[in-house]
Amino acid sequence: MWRARRWLVRSTPCRSSLKAIATNQLNGSQPQVTGVVRGLEVDQYNASLAVASHGFTQNPARCVLDYMTNSRYGAGAYITTADVNLQSFYDFSVLCNSQVPNGIGGLEDQHHIDLVIDKKKPHWDWMQSISANYKSAIIWSNGQYKIITDRADTPVRQVFHAGNTIRERTSVKMDSDPTRPNQVTVEFANQALDYGMDTFFAQDSAAVAANEPVKNFDLSLLGIVRQSEIQRAAEYHIRRHRDRRRTVAFATGLEGIVVEPGDFAKVGVINTDYEAGYGGRALDGSSSYILLDREVNLQNSNAYELLVWHSKTDSVETINLASATNTGRMISLTASFGAEVFAGDRWAVGITSEDLMKIRVTNVTRNVETGVHEIVGEEFVSFQATTPTFVNCGVAFRLNMPPAQPVGVSVTERALQHKDGNTASMLQFDVTPSPLIEAGRLTQAGTQNSVILGAGSHNPIMNSLVGERIR
C-alpha cells in the first residue's frame, strides 16, 4: 500500500489489457500478469504541524493519516485534518523513524509499512488493524481522532491514591493469557525475497528448555516486510502473552478527567502488609518543603517516594525520601523541589514500587450525573524488543593438511554357514599405514582404545570437545 513502489489504494478496480499473437507459449487460458505497483505520494508534516513535503514514504504514521483524510480512497468523506490530532501523528512518525539495531551490525528505522489494500472492509477496521501492528490504536479524544502508542517515554498524567479515590471501589486482579504460548509463527511477504511469502518462527527458548510443551500461536503482521522488524514484533508478542500483569479498577471524582486511554498514571494499591499509602492535598509549601493535610508515619525498614503534582506546571515530580526524617505533616528536603509547591497541589507517599503502581489506562467511563469516573488500567512493564545481533564466534573450522594416502589395502572375507543353510559373510579391510586423526587425523595409532584431544583438535569452539576424553 504505502511505499515508493508498494503503496496503492484504489476506489475502483484496476484494469489492464493485453493484445498479442497466439503462439505455442501464449495460448489457451488467460495468462497470469504480475505488475509493479507505484506508491502514492502523501503529505508529510514537520514539527510545526505544517505540510513540509509531498512524496513517497514508508512511515506508518504518515500513511495511516493519509488514509484517514483522503476522500477518494480513504475515510476523508468523514474525517478531515481538522478532525485529527496532528501532534499525536507527528509524535508517532518520529518514533517510527527512530533508529534501532538491524541485527547485522547496522541501524534501521524502527517501523516501516509496505502494504497494498486490495480487499474491501470498513475504513475504521483498516485503520485500527494497521495501527495495531505498531502497538498503537486510534481513539476519539477532545473532539479529535488521536493515535496512542505503547511506549515507555509517555509522561505520568495523574496520581490516584487514598486522597482522591472512592473507598471500597478499588479492585486488583492478576491478568494473563491462560494458554501462555511459547512460540509464534508469522507468515509475511519478505522484502529480501522480492516480497515472496516467507515463514518466521520465534520461540521462548527458556520455556522450552524447562520442558514446557510447545504452544504455538499465529500472528498476522500485514504490511511489515522486513525480517528484522518481524522478529522484534514476534518477540514483543511472545513476552506480552506470557507476562502476568496486575489490572486495577477504581473510581474517582473530577480527578479522573485528566486521563484517557493510553495515558500513564500511578495508583496507590494495597501492599503485602495490607497498609495503604498516604495521599491528599498540600496545605502549604515552597521549593524546599511541603505541609501535608494529614500525618504520615514512615517506617525505617522501607524506601519511600513522594509524588507531587505541581498545578502551576501541570507535571508530576518524584522525590526519594529518607524515612527517619519524615514523620508527621511536614516534609523538608535537603535538596529543593523542581518547582515550588502551592496549597492545593496533590501529593502521595508510598513504599517504592509497592504502594504506588504505574499503570497504562485502558478504559475510562464517566457518569455525567454524579461526575464519578471509573478507570481501568494495566500494570506497565517496560519491554523494548530488539533485533538480536549476530556476532563472529571465532574460528569455526581449522582445516589441517589431509592425512597421507594409504599405500596398501588388503581385504579378507570371513564367512559363517548356519545350520539352516544360510551363509553370513563380512569383509575386513586392512589399511597401511594406520589412520591418524587430528582435525581429520588421529594423534595416536588407530588401534588405541581411547584418544585424548589436545589443543588444536578438530573443533576449537568454546564448550566443544576440546580437552575431553573420547572412549
Could you read off the pLDDT tens digit of each residue along the chain, which spans 471 residues?
Answer: 444 334 444 444 566 676 777 777 777 777 676 666 667 889 999 999 999 999 999 999 999 999 999 998 899 999 999 999 999 999 999 999 999 998 888 899 999 999 888 888 899 999 999 999 999 999 998 899 999 998 888 888 888 887 788 888 888 888 778 888 989 999 999 999 988 899 999 888 888 788 888 899 999 999 999 999 999 999 888 888 888 788 899 999 988 888 999 899 988 765 443 345 678 889 999 988 999 988 887 776 677 778 898 988 888 888 887 644 556 788 888 778 889 999 989 888 877 644 678 899 999 999 888 889 999 999 887 666 666 554 444 444 444 555 555 556 676 766 666 677 666 666 666 666 655 544 444 444 444 333 343 333 344 444 444 334 433
Cell for 441? 587425523
- Residues with Cβ within 8 Å of 362's Cβ and at least 6 positions away in sequence, in order, are 261, 376, 377, 378
CA distance 140 to 260: 10
- Residues with Cβ within 8 Å of 100's Cβ and at least 6 positions away in sequence, in order, are 107, 108, 109, 110, 232, 386, 387
Per the rule left: phi > 0, alpha: psi between -120 and 50, beta: everything else, 103 is left
Phi and psi, residue 374, nearest 5° = -100, 120
Extended beta strands in 322-459, E state: 327-332, 346-351, 356-366, 373-379, 408-417, 423-432, 451-452
Cβ atoms of 387 and 102 within 8 Å: the answer is yes
Cell for 364? 475510562
Q: In terms of pTM, does the model score above 0.75?
A: no
DSSP run (H or E) holding 45: strand 42-45
- Residues with Cβ within 8 Å of 357's Cβ and at least 6 positions away in sequence, in order, are 246, 248, 266, 267, 268, 269, 379
CA distance 372 to 363: 14
